[in-house]
Structure formats: structure tokens, C-alpha cells
Amino acid sequence: MTQAIVVQEHPGIAEVVINKPPVNALDSREWHALADCIAQLGARDDLRVLVVRAEGRGFCAGVDIKELDAHPERIVDVNAGNYRTFEAIHRHPLPVIVAVHGFVLGGGIGIAGAADIVIAADTATFGVPEVDRGAMGGGAHLQRLFPVQKVRAMYFTGAPIDAQEAYRLGALERVVSADALRAEALDMAGTIAKKSGTMLRLAKESLNGVEDGNLESKYRWEQGFTLQAYMSPDSAETRQAFVQKRDAQFEADPAKPPNSNAS
């Protein structure tokens, strides 16, 4: 547990709150702490459902780019923390409701995409800007939320979509005002918490079992390309440009001729 991760308890419900100003971008240690927290709650017989939400301007901006700019070798540990967090949610023995607001980026997409139910404030926007940060995003988890070609458009352009579009595409259970988000998530959690714990655990395991493919294997495949990306100077340039608040400058691709129109 860290100061960035707080647990609040209600009858049958554990509320996991991410609170790391200004944008809830977690470093490697915090991602592992979040994974440990969620996994440990799954061992509790008195719980029926989890709610994951956040304080501040937005839900989660993903990983701490400043940490990776200063210590690029930590990408392996960050990836491991992301993987463990998303797996802890997806494979959690209990239903997991994620309540999002503001920006839902990078690791925030992984959390939402791993969940059973997503409720969003009308302020929410969803995006994967990793291509502009020298890495790969949570495409495996994004594809649990949106159709495959929408995922590719978002992945290649980095353009976000808003809560109403996400609802239209079937990613969200409900869209509510930001002021009502927490109450709405806890209200749904309260409905679930009245059910049999045994039945909920069996239902969660059965639903995971009938899902096509293996989400964790897909994410491992995808993040192998992040490690490959980190061996490229372009990857370092994207992080430095982000930290320095400037446009990235890339050298010409050596695999292409200087003038592709030349005969």
C-alpha cells in the first residue's frame, strides 16, 4: 500500500481509490502496490464486489513518463506492474466495477479494459497516446472495450473518444454526471453485494472461461514490442519531448530513400 492507493470499505464492498496528483500517473512501485492491493482483497470472504475509482482531474494517465525518462531501464518493472494490475482485475474472483472520469489513458485503459463493468462520468475521454511516448499501449484491453478497427484508429492516431461515443460503442454500462459517479458505482456495487458470494465467484470464473483468447497472453505479446521500441532512439526522443513540453524530432528513416518519389 502507498499513499497513492487508498481502500475504503462498505458492507460487502471494497472501494480502491487512486489518488496521486496531478494526473494519477503511477510509477513502477505504485503499479505493483495497486496489483498487490487488488489481489489481497480477492482473498477476503466478507467481500462481494470491488469498485476502482480515482480522485483528481482524471482517472489515470498511465505510467510516470518522468520516471521512465530518467530511468528507461525501469520499463521492464513498469510493464510487470501493469501486467500484474490488469491481471489482478481481470482474474479477480469477484466482480470489479471501474468508475472513470476525465482522462482515461494508457494504464487507465488497461484498468478499465480488464474490468467487468465500466461506469463513466460524462467528462471521461479514452485514449492510447503511447505511440507518441515511444511505447505500445493497452491495445489488448482497449479491444475489450471497442471494436477492432476503432481500436486501430485510436492506436495509430492517438486521438481520444468521449464518454458518449464510448457508450454508443458499448464500452460503458452507464454515463452519469461527474458529481454522481461515485454514488452510481457504489449503488451498482450494493446491488451486487446482496448476492451470494459463492455464486458471484462461480459466475466470474465461468465468464472469464468463455471469453475468446487469453487477455494476459495478448498483453504480453503487445508489450514485448514496447521493450523493442525502447531500443530505438525514437522512443527516448518521444519521452524527452514529452518531459520538455516540445514537439518530438525524428531522424529520417534509414530504410527509406531520401526522396521516395524519385524514379
* Residue 228 counted as domain residue: no
pLDDT in tens, 103-121: 999 899 999 999 999 999 9
Q: What does the pLDDT read at residue 258?
A: 47
* pLDDT tens, residue order, the chain (263 aa): 569 999 999 999 999 999 999 999 999 999 999 999 999 999 999 999 999 999 999 999 988 888 888 898 888 898 899 999 999 999 999 999 999 999 999 899 999 999 999 999 999 999 998 888 777 778 889 999 999 999 999 999 989 999 999 999 999 999 999 999 999 999 999 999 999 899 999 899 988 888 867 777 777 766 676 677 777 787 778 778 878 888 888 776 554 444 545 43
Q: What does the pLDDT read at residue 257?
A: 47
Q: Which residue has the cell 514496447?
A: 226
Q: What is the mean pLDDT of the chain?
A: 89
Residue 9, strand partner residues: 14
Q: What does the pLDDT read at residue 262?
A: 43
Please list the alpha-helical segments (H only) found in 91-147. 107-114, 139-145
In the chain, which ranges are E strands? 5-10, 13-18, 25-26, 49-54, 62-63, 96-100, 103-105, 117-121, 125-127, 161-162, 174-176
* Residue 80 counted as domain residue: yes
How far from chain centre, in Å, is Cα 156?
Answer: 18
> 146 is in which domain, residue-wise?
5-179+203-221
pTM: 0.81
| CB-based contact 163:125 (threshold 8 Å) | yes
* Residue 37 counted as domain residue: yes
Q: What does the pLDDT read at residue 212?
A: 66
- Written as nine digits, the cell of 201 is 465467484
Q: State the DSSP code for 60.
A: B
* Residue 72 counted as domain residue: yes
* Residue 193 counted as domain residue: no
pLDDT in tens, 46-64: 999 999 999 999 999 988 8
Domain CATH number, residue 65: 3.90.226.10
Q: What does the pLDDT read at residue 252?
A: 62
Q: What is the number of structural domains in the chain? A: 1
Q: How far apart are CA 29 and CA 51, in angstroms?
A: 22
Residue 100, strand partner residues: 120
* Residue 250 counted as domain residue: no
Q: What does the pLDDT read at residue 176?
A: 98
| CB-based contact 93:40 (threshold 8 Å) | no
* Residue 117 counted as domain residue: yes
* Residue 22 counted as domain residue: yes
